[in-house]
Structure formats: C-alpha cells, structure tokens
Structure 1
Amino acid sequence: MVEQVITYITANWVAWLFAGAYAILIALYKKEKQQHEEEREENKAVREGLQALLRQQIIDICLKYEERKEAPAWAKQAETSAYKAYEKLGGNDVAHAMHERFMQLPLSDGNLETERIH
C-alpha cells in the first residue's frame, strides 16, 4: 500500500505541482480583481464628490455675481477653471447654463486683473 502511494506520487508529482500552481494563480487573480473593483468604486465616488463640489462652487460664484450684475475678471477666471474641471468629470447639467449666463456678465470696474484667487 505504501509502495503504491509512493509510486503514484513519483509518477504524478509534476501534475500536482502544476495543479497547485494553477490554484494559487486563480486565488491571486480573484484577489487582484476584487481589489481592482474596490479601487474603481472608490475612484468613482471621489470623482462624483469632486464633481458635486465643483458644481456647488460654480453655482455659488455665479449666483453671487449675477446678483451684483457684474463680475471681476479673476472671478470669471476662477469660475471657468472650475467649470472646465467639472466638464472633464462628466458634468454638464444646470452648471452649464449658469456658466453661460455668468460669462455674459460685464466686467466690474473694468477690472482686468486675472491673477487674484477667489
């Protein structure tokens, strides 16, 4: 009986080695796939959160200066930067219309300064 087991093992050790390696590779693949899916979901949540923050910033800037009926150049530059990032993240809803209206506002006091941060 023991001789049969030893004979079987010596005759089939390569097949068992490959089967074990295959099982390890499958387990590693499943773990990597799960991590990739988790990272993808996390990235999606970050993109959606950033998009929401940008949308709110655009709305806030637009409403503030629409009320004043004019906007300084630096505010237009800041809003445009936020809007471009927002669009790249896939947003183009109400913020698009607000952006268009905001860009039509006249410059306040002829202020052409573009380096000031909002």
Structure 2
Amino acid sequence: MTEQIVSHAINLLLGGVVSYIFALYRQKKKENDALKAGLQALLRDRIIQAYNHYVQDKGWIPIYALESINACYKSYEALGENGVINGLMEQLNDLPNYEPHQKG
C-alpha cells in the first residue's frame, strides 16, 4: 500500500513537472513569435523608408546605403517574410550608385 501511495505521488509530481515545462515552452514560443513579428515589422519599415527616400525622392542610392538595406533584406527574408518587399528591393538594387549629373 505504501508503494502505491509513493508511486502515485511520483506520477503526480512528474506530471506536474512536465506540465510546468510545457507551459514554460509555450510562453517562450509566444514571446519568440512576438519578437520575430516585431523585428520583421521594423525591417519592413526600414526597407520601405529607404525605397521612398532613394527610389521616389532621389533616384539614386549610395553604395553604403544599398549594402545596409540589403543586409536588412537578408534578415527580413530569413525570418520568413518577403511579399511586396521583393519588388521594392529590385527597384533599390537597380538604382545607380551615384548622383546623376544635372544637364542644363
């Protein structure tokens, strides 16, 4: 009888530990998903800002800026998102790396 009580107590204890570990895992996954989504949003915003500034306003992009945006894009893509950003990156990469001379 004592063995049965000890056995049940151990089973309850192990079940509680497993449940606790599973709850911690779910919480950490939820936090990681939120961090991933936040980082994706920041990278997407930075790429869109660069697109607006260099493609729409200036018509050219310095090499250092293009390298920085391409690094952002690599991270963004590694996080599993791309969508419309692919097209923006193509346009950014097609820009000249120097300011066009004004004629006139």
Structure 2 length normalisation: TM-score?
A: 0.91
The CA deviation at 1:60 is 0.5
1:19-58 deviation line (CA, Å, top 9, x unaligned):
1011000011111111100110110010000000000000
- Counterpart of 1:8? none
- Counterpart of 1:51? 40
Matches within 5 A, 1:6-85: 12-66=1-55, 67-85=57-75
Within the candidate set 81, 91, 95, 2:81 is matched to: 91
Partners of 1:59 and 1:99 lie apart in 2 by: 9
- 5+ long unaligned stretches in structure 2: none
Q: How many aligned positions are there?
A: 99
Highest CA radius of gyration, 1 or 2? 1
Partners of 1:63 and 1:105 lie apart in 2 by: 13
The CA deviation at 1:104 is 0.1
Structure 1 length normalisation: TM-score?
A: 0.80
